[in-house]
Amino acid sequence: MPLGSVLFMGKPKYSPMQKFLRLALLFTALLSPVFAQRDIGYVDVVAEKNTLPVRVSANEPELNRLALQAFGAHGRYRVTASSYQFDIRFSVVTANQVRVDITRGSGGTPVASQVFSGANARQALLHAADFAVEQTNGMGLKGFFTAQLAFIGERTGKKEVYTADLFFGGAKQITRDNALALMPRWAPDGNRLLYTSFFKSGFPDIFQIDLSTYQRTTFVSFKGTNSGARFSPNGQQVAMVLSGEGTPEIYLSNAQGRQVSRKTRSDAVKSSPCFSPDGSRIVFAMEPGPQLYVMSVAGGVPSRITSGISRYCAEPDWSRANPNKIAFTMRAGGYQIGVLDLSTRKGAQVSKAPFDGIEPSWLADGRHLVYTARDRRSSVICILDTETGKSVRVSPTSFGNVMQASVWTR
């Protein structure tokens, strides 16, 4: 089951001790999850609806593989060697510069040519590839290849926080807690992470890591459980779930973890708060069900937003590129990814593979997202095109089990 789903099993009223034990189960759920019936196998779900044929190449073997991987993961494109609409060619200029040349059709009509820089040639190519997407997709989509990921990995045998680019280049282990770490989330400036860990007291507390110094500080440590911390889009507030007063409730603090104020008051268990793109509202999951609810950051009575497709809706992520879209984990036999369109108040199941799909996090174009795909043996990170259902694995086999990816875009 998804992280946090154990919060919503059974009746909604509990004694204080039952509430605490129930919250404790949240942080062990991933150690013995319930999986879909079939194994992941090849994660790619073939979908070529409304695709744009392109030829993609680079003049250096490693960058050529990266370029093919990037465009192969994008649901708008179909990489081909012939009958292509655009020819997209990348050339290394210096150790940290790449030029992209885009031509149209077999006649080679010039479309655009530009040099991009990065910390290395890999980063420069991803910048150039985003430019190529924006020049050719014909649908007004932003590029998303330069996204950075924070995620949980198990390479050491413990769940620790890692960062990497979208295709797992430059992966770094950020924590060495030697304890259960969960739910890393980016600050809007990309310089800090918030995450939950058991390392200090044996109970879940929220910590902040400065990615320039790797210094870790305690962000919030109250009695009970402290989890689910996420920054507002402007970085000035943090939403989180605290259980120190009994039932898990939504709280807000400033960016330093101070001025903590309670925003919900009910016996229903709550989880996974996420800000709206303008920072004025919060979406979160609440039992019974759970289902999704929205409330003002000032507090007040939450309003349920009905998906119409599942009695179980959790782990919401509000798209900043499209304020009308909220991705979430839904139950449909196993677990799948759903998207709620606030403009129509209708939900749709967007993942279509025979394995569990959980923990969605939007990419910059408001069409694609990253999510965790898992079977009985494996847990991997994939890119999902919510328009077609195309799903492409990006975490390498050599990395082992990974999960809970959070996206940061420059």
> Residues 115-154: pLDDT tens digits?
999 999 999 999 999 999 999 999 999 999 999 999 999 9
> Residues 322-379: pLDDT tens digits?
999 999 999 988 999 999 999 999 999 999 888 899 999 999 999 999 999 998 889 9
The answer to whether the Cα torsion of 272, 276, 282, 287 is positive or negative is negative
pLDDT band at residue 48 under the 50/70/90 scheme:
low
260-297 as b/e: b if 16+ CB within 10 A: eeebbeeebbbbbbbbbbeeebbbbbbbebbbbbbbeb
Query: Could you state, in order of their start, the residue ranges of all structural domains in the chain?
Result: 5-34+146-408, 52-72+77-136
pLDDT of residue 40: 55
pLDDT band at residue 49 under the 50/70/90 scheme:
low
Please identify, in words, the CATH class of the domain defined by 5-34+146-408.
mainly beta
Arch. (CATH architecture) of 52-72+77-136: 3-Layer(aba) Sandwich (3.40)
Q: Minimum mean pLDDT among 106-110, 181-185, 257-261: which range?
A: 106-110
Q: Which residue has the higher pLDDT, 5 or 356?
A: 356
> Residues 50-99: pLDDT tens digits?
899 999 999 999 999 999 999 999 999 999 999 999 999 999 999 999 99
- Both structure tokens of 372: 């965790």
pLDDT of 232 above 50: yes
Q: How would you classify the pairing of strands 172-173 and 160-165?
A: antiparallel
pLDDT of residue 110: 97
CA distance linking residue 51 with residue 132, whole number of Å: 15
Element (DSSP H or E) covering residue 408:
strand 402-408
Q: Which amino acid is at 51?
A: T
Mean pLDDT of the chain: 89
User: Do the Cβ atoms of 359 and 353 come closer than 8 Å?
Assistant: no
> Residues 294-318: pLDDT tens digits?
999 999 999 999 889 999 999 999 9
- Both structure tokens of 116: 């991009």
Give the percent of the chain with pLDDT over 90. Answer: 82
> Residues 123-133: pLDDT tens digits?
999 999 999 99
* Torsion angles phi and psi, residue 286, rounded to 5: -145, 140
pLDDT of residue 368: 98
pLDDT of 7 above 60: no
The pTM of the full predicted model, rounded to 2 decimals, is 0.90
